[in-house]
Amino acid sequence: MKTKLATQRFESDAELRAGVNEWLKHQAAEFYRDGIDKLVQRY
Position 21 confidence tier, pLDDT thresholds 50, 70, 90: very high
Position 16 confidence tier, pLDDT thresholds 50, 70, 90: very high
Q: State the DSSP string of 1-43.
A: -HHHHHT---SSHHHHHHHHHHHHHTS-HHHHHHHHHHHHHH-
The pLDDT, as a whole number, for residue 28 is 87
Residue 23 has pLDDT above 70, yes or no: yes
Residue 12 has pLDDT above 90, yes or no: yes
5 touches 17 (CB < 8 A): no
Stated pTM of the model: 0.60
**Quick one: average pLDDT of 14-40?**
89
